[in-house]
Amino acid sequence: MSKPIIICDFDGTITNNDNIIAIMKKFAPPEWDVLKDDVLSQRISVREGVGKMFQLIPSELKYDMIQYLLFTAQLRDGFRDFVQFTEEEKIPLYIVSGGIDFFVHPLLNGLVDRSRVYCNEGDFSGETIEILWPNTCDAQCSNDCGCCKPSLIRKLANPGQEVIVIGDSVTDLEASKLADFVFARDFLLEKCKSLDLPHQEFATFFDVIDGLKEKQEAVS
């Protein structure tokens, strides 16, 4: 029996809070709030909205932002145990995030190898921050995702391999539609219920470990 592939979100999933929102509340001028609402209501794409939000922040604040998140952001309970569980069970785990490299990597702090982390990138060479998008949509997606999770699923999963998605928000929805099973919370949980997607609610990664063990036992 081949192992499933796990595609795990970062902001609001691995971390308790959304780090982009935390940065904006702390460092951005008030205009960011309208852009956030436009993204959540899908009036503009994630890529356009996030890009414009970061353009509001001076590049010179990079160090301050990193230090702020290292001091305030918290990994969700059980995440370290979850990573260890996937390694012991030889289940491939990928972190696929709409977050930005300058805070994703410091917060993960080497828990997951960088080759298994896909996220957006920050360019601090200009006066304000420019976001770069190395993981854009493939020919099968036209949502202008920024970091396109469905495209990465098509790239990373083998044909016929079971795909498990772990997430919480609107940015995880299209990936969840492609998944065989979803561990969901918050916005994504309600969407999984309304769309009748195979799912399980989670509060901590201990819940995810238990759910994965139950799935293993069911097929063994």
- If we measure between CA atoms, which residue out of 172, 203, 19, 21 comes closest to residue 95? 172
Secondary structure of 57-94 as H, E, C letters: CEHHHHHHHHHHHHHHCCECCCHHHHHHHHHHCCCCEE
* 25 in a structural domain: no
pLDDT tens digits along 26-55: 999 999 999 999 988 889 988 999 999 999
Task: Find the CATH number of the domain harbouring 197.
Answer: 3.40.50.1000
The full length of the chain comes to: 220
Average pLDDT, the chain: 95
Question: Token match 């949509």: residue?
Answer: 137
Identify whether 10 is part of a domain: yes
Examine residue 23 and state whether it is found in any structural domain, yes or no: no
Average pLDDT over residues 206-218: 93
Tally of domains within the chain: 1
Least confident of 55-59, 137-141, 180-184, 191-195: 137-141
Residue 1 confidence (pLDDT) above 70: no
pLDDT tens digits for range 63-113: 999 999 999 999 999 999 999 999 999 999 999 999 999 999 999 999 999
Which H helix or E strand runs over 5?
strand 5-8
pTM of the entire predicted model: 0.94
Domain span at residue 128 reads 3-15+74-216
